[in-house]
Chain A
Amino acid sequence: MDISINVTDGVPIYRQIVNQVKYLVASGLLRPGEELPPIRTLALQLKVTPNTIVKAYGELETAGVVHKRQGSGTYVSEERPRLANRERQRIIEQRIDALLAEAHQLNFTADDIFRMVRERKAALDPRTTAEPADVEK
């Protein structure tokens, strides 16, 4: 699994792993039913203490992204993760705040940004219109 750790940006390592696995799942690079690397393997690959992987997998399981099978391994869940609404909102709001700060710096108005988000959405996924993506409950 392709994960990279950065110890200079202040984000705890287990959180970096959680975020990147969520991204891999959301983007379809990791598919439902696929197995995540065993703890030892990923710890050796990333050169981090195995307990960090244990913690990251635990968080991913709580978030519903993966599940453990008894005596076997850790697998990507079939269903989309059901994050608590507040958590979902918090994650997106952080991204939006960063985007708006950058946009302000570069002299884009909020309306410019709305338009560009729609355009990017259409370019990334031609099957859908600019309607909001269906949100699974």
Chain B
Amino acid sequence: MGQIVDVNDLSRSFGGKRALDGVSFRATAGQVYGLVGANGAGKTTLLKHLLGLLRATTGSVRVFGLDPVRDPVGVLSRIGYLSEERELPEWMRVDELMDFTRAFHPTWDASYARELLESFALDPSKKVKELSKGMRAQAGLIAAVAHRPALLILDEPSSGLDAMVRRDILDAIVRTVADDGRMVIFSSHLLDEVERMSDHVTMLHAGRVTLSGALDEVREGYQRTRVRFADHFDQPPVLDAALALEGGGRLWSAVHNEPLDRFQHAVSALGGEVFESRHATLEEIFLARAGRSRQPVEAA
């Protein structure tokens, strides 16, 4: 199956402040895309462009080959969306919310919606405004997935939820991909969740893509290596080969994307020795990159 999302060199400013700066992003059916970055990095702004809620200042956005601003019906009917704020009509009852959402989506799967309502133990006669935070997320999730959208977009779906409801959300992602080969784009600040659920990861920092690629390839490009220096350092020593250094005294751990032999060379120039090395976790890579480089890095 082909490419579904194609964002090319997208920039967007709000009141003179750059929210997105030359962002390119492509996504293919059957895959899960994780979007990570600090608050204000541009994740929500990027997602809103896919939904046609924002118009590109420069660059282009295509979803299903269409411009979401010019053809909102053609795009939105095939997207399921759960926003971080979970904006839902407060006055509706849960069953009314389902009927309301169904009216926009000819592909609505009523038995799937019912199954989810039951498994979440949501009371259909309850008003949206009476729902707890977790129940709101569950109701919003059903509304987002029950029409079996070709593209499911979740903006910080786990934000503020307990472990039980987070599992429901992750289940919905797995089912979307496993049952019908559809695709999911989700943003999250929970990096372990992104590491588990994503096939691809895109990291935004201050409106720019700092890292993007297949998760396994990204991960394989970065190592975390322990270093022992002959000298005692109170501050992290200047070591260009390392993206981040943690520790103190003679013992430090470095995250680096230089090959180990090159890294070792740089360390010995500082009078250090390299000890065990392993692949860095996504969280370690994220912290190392966010703390440092502004340079875009493309993974293989």
Contacts and interface: CB of A to CB of B under 8 A. Distances in A.
B84 interface: no
B170 A8 contact: no
B195 interface: yes
A40 B170 CA distance: 13
Nearest to B191: A7
6 contacts: A7-B281, A8-B192, A10-B284, A11-B279, A49-B198, A50-B174
Return the 7 tightest CB-CB contacts between A and B, nearest first: A40-B178, A10-B279, A50-B178, A10-B278, A7-B192, A49-B32, A47-B170
Interface in B151-184: 167, 170-171, 173-175, 177-179
Contact of A49 (B192, B199, B220, B278): B199
B289 interface: no
Interface of B: 30-32, 167, 170-171, 173-175, 177-179, 192, 195-199, 216, 219-220, 224, 278-282, 284
A8 B278 CA distance: 11
A133 interface: no
Contact of B177 (A9, A12, A14, A51): A51
B280 A49 contact: no
Given A47-B174, A51-B30, A51-B177, A12 B196 contact: no
Contacts of A50: 174, 177-178
A114 to B, nearest CB: 24
Interface of A: 5, 7-14, 39-40, 43-44, 46-52, 55
A13 B30 contact: no
A44 B174 contact: yes
Given A48-B196, A49-B32, A8 B281 contact: yes
Contacts of A11: 278-279
Nearest to B167: A47
A118 to B, nearest CB: 28
B280 A10 contact: yes
Most B-side CB within 10 Å, residue of A12, A14, A55: A12
Contacts of B196: 5, 7, 13, 46-49
Given A13-B195, A44-B178, A51-B31, 6 more contacts: A7-B192, A7-B282, A12-B216, A40-B174, A40-B175, A47-B196
A9 B279 CA distance: 8
A55 B281 CA distance: 19
Most B-side CB within 10 Å, residue of A5, A39, A51, A52: A51
A39 B179 CA distance: 10
B197 A47 contact: yes
Contacts of B175: 40, 44
A14 B220 CA distance: 13
B224 A10 contact: yes
A47 B178 CA distance: 12
A43 B178 CA distance: 8
A51 to B, nearest CB: 5
B271 to A, nearest CB: 23
Contacts of A5: 196
Most A-side CB within 10 Å, residue of B174, B179, B278, B284: B174
